[in-house]
Structure formats: C-alpha cells, structure tokens
Amino acid sequence: MNDANPVLELVKRLTVEELSAQGLETPDGIGPETRLFGKDGLLDSMALVSLVMSLEQEIAEQFGTEIALADDKALSQKHSPFRTIGSLVAYANGEIEAARGK
Amino acid sequence: MGSDPPVTLITGARKGIGRFLAERLLARGERVAGISRSPTDLKHAHYQHFECDVADDQGVRGAIQAIRRGFGRLDNLVNNAGIASMNHALLTPAATVERVLRTNVVGAFVAARESAKLMRQGGGGRIVNFTTVAVPFALEGEAAYVASKAAVESLTRVLARELGPFGIRVNAVGPTPIDTDLTRAVPREKIEALLARQVLPRMGTPEDVAQVVDFFLSPASEFVTGQVIYLGGVR
C-alpha cells in the first residue's frame, strides 16, 4: 500500500469529506492504519454508509468500473473490510480487479 | 434543489397508473424517466425510457447511471411497478409467489436503493411506494399479492427511517380497485363485494391516486414520512 494508490487517495479524501459534513475535523496523518469503523473508528454507521456509497460512485466515474462494496461477501467477511482505511482500499482494489477480469 | 424542473423516475411506466402519472408530470413541464420490461410508445422530449426488470440489480443500476448522466439528478421515485396473482392459496404454485414477490418487493427495494443513492447526492428526494387496500382487508384469494404489498408497507416504514438522515422521505399510497389491467381480470361481483367494504364505495380513478402522489412529492408534505395513505376511507 503506498500513497500513489489512487483508491487510497480517494478513500482519504472521502473520509475527510464525511467528517467535514458532520462538522468534525480530521485527525492529522490519516492513512491505511486509520480506523474507520467500530472501536475507535472515525465514522458512525450513517457516515460509513455515506462513505461507501460515495466510494462506489467515484470508482464508477474515475475507473469506469461498477462495483458493489457492500455486497454479501463484504458483510460476511470475518474481518470487516470497513474497519480501516487500508482494509477498505484493499477490498475496493480487489473488487475493481475482479470486475475488470470479468 | 435548483430551478430546473424536477426529475421523477416511475417504474411500470408503460401503461396503467404509471403511464397516467408520467404523462401528468410531463404535461406540467417536469422531467420523467420510466422503467418497464417492454418498450413504450410514450414519446416526449423530457421522457427517457429504460427497458428492464425492476428487480434486476444491474439493469436498475444502469438506468440510474443513465439518469445521472442524462438529467444530472433524481428528485422522486414512484415505485408503481407491480403484478398481482388472484387465486386461492391452495391453488397457487410457489413459482407464482416468487414471481409476485420478486417484482413487488425486490423490485421496489432495488429501485428505492439505487434511486436513493442519486437522490442523496442532490441533498434529498421523495419515494412513493404502492400498496393496496387489499392489505388492511386481508383480502382472500390474493395471498401472495397481499403478502407482497404488506412487505412493501414495512419496507416503506424502515426505509423512511434509514433514508431520513439523507433528506429522503418514503411514503406509500394504497389504492382501491381501479379500472386497469390488474383488476380487469377480476369478476364483477368480486369487485362489488370489495367496494362495499370501503367507506366510500366506488372504484378509484388514476386521478385519485395522482392526488396522493402529488401530496407525497410536494414540499407541502416535507414533515410526512413512513406513512401509508389508503384511498376510499379504508384503514
């Protein structure tokens, strides 16, 4: 995972936007290790829903790939892909690759 | 919401009440997108038609993406598409029950979910689902249909809660029998018996339904969500 990853940059930007929409400031230095949801997570459940929808939309527009991040697979994974920025980025990248490989 | 005319997506827009509502909104200068499984003969500069099954995830996603590109926004969803099955429960095959649930429940769900994603980006929207007086009547001979519409009522209430934070209101209208393809196949005496159970015992008209839909889509009902309004005085 490095900062040249466009999905990482996208998730970071959308996280900042979600926090800002709630009138919250983003902590310094957010990155792959930053907890998004659950214990010590930055986002509440509505903000997470909003982030996931925005991410799906941005990926469709920027990458031309339709993916569903909140499908049965994501919701049933033992370790939720929504727990950190890094896990969400990895999951989204995997879905983008899978969709392109179809 | 800008000054451009609102955009409304109507499912089941090819005929019946869906068609009536589409033409009514177009006549007002509003913009309409329609979904149905077959092509339409409705031609209008502000009308865009999508041929797909409302319960088809990919098809509905494609329609919403096209609305996003074509109209740039979505203000209203009228979840009108529906099918009925009139038969004694003991004579109803599982395949019929699945077909009715798929169009009426899964279709309403998928259309609402995908529409809400686009509405949210515009700061809010309104969803109107369709139920029926057959639900409070627990109408015999329509078990699958009534069960599917009871599910739509629950969906209306839950979605009202889940989508409320995004500025999206979700309500449902419950028509009485109206002279459409859905009721034309029902024997006259059955319809008469059903009308006799209403407070106002007459057939409904598309105009009756449109008045309630207008109310739900109007800013006048901005504090109204999760509600079901039945026609004919039924409760």
Interface residues of chain B, partner chain A, Cβ below 8 Å: 61, 65, 117, 120-121, 165-166
* Cβ atoms B84, B152 nearer than 8 A: no
For residue B114, pLDDT over 90 is answered with: yes
All residues of chain A having their beta carbon less than 8 Å from the beta carbon of residue B120 are 50, 53
What is residue A2's predicted lDDT score, i.e. its pLDDT? 47
| Smallest CA–CA distance from A57 into chain B, residue | B117
pLDDT 10s digits, B122-172:
999 999 999 999 999 999 999 999 999 999 999 999 999 999 999 999 999
Residues 6+ apart with CB under 8 A from B224: B169, B171, B215, B216
Domains, chain A, in order of start with CATH, read 6-101 (1.10.1200.10)
B contact test, residue of A43, A53, A71 with most B CBs within 10 A: A53
Query: How far is B17 from B20, CA to CA, in rounded Å?
Result: 5
Domains, chain B, in order of start with CATH, read 7-228 (3.40.50.720)
Please give the positions of B annotated as active site.
Answer: 145
pLDDT 10s digits, B191-211:
898 999 999 999 999 999 999
Asked if A57 lies within 8 A of B120 by C-beta distance, the reply is: no
Can you read off the two tokens belonging to residue B215?
């109310």
Smallest Cβ distance to B120: which of A53, A60, A66? A53
How close, in Å, is residue B66 to chain A by CA atoms? 12
Asked if B165 lies within 8 A of A46 by C-beta distance, the reply is: yes
pTM here is: 0.91
ipTM of the assembly? 0.79
**Where does residue A29 fall: left (phi above 0), alpha (psi -120 to 50 degrees), or beta otherwise?**
left
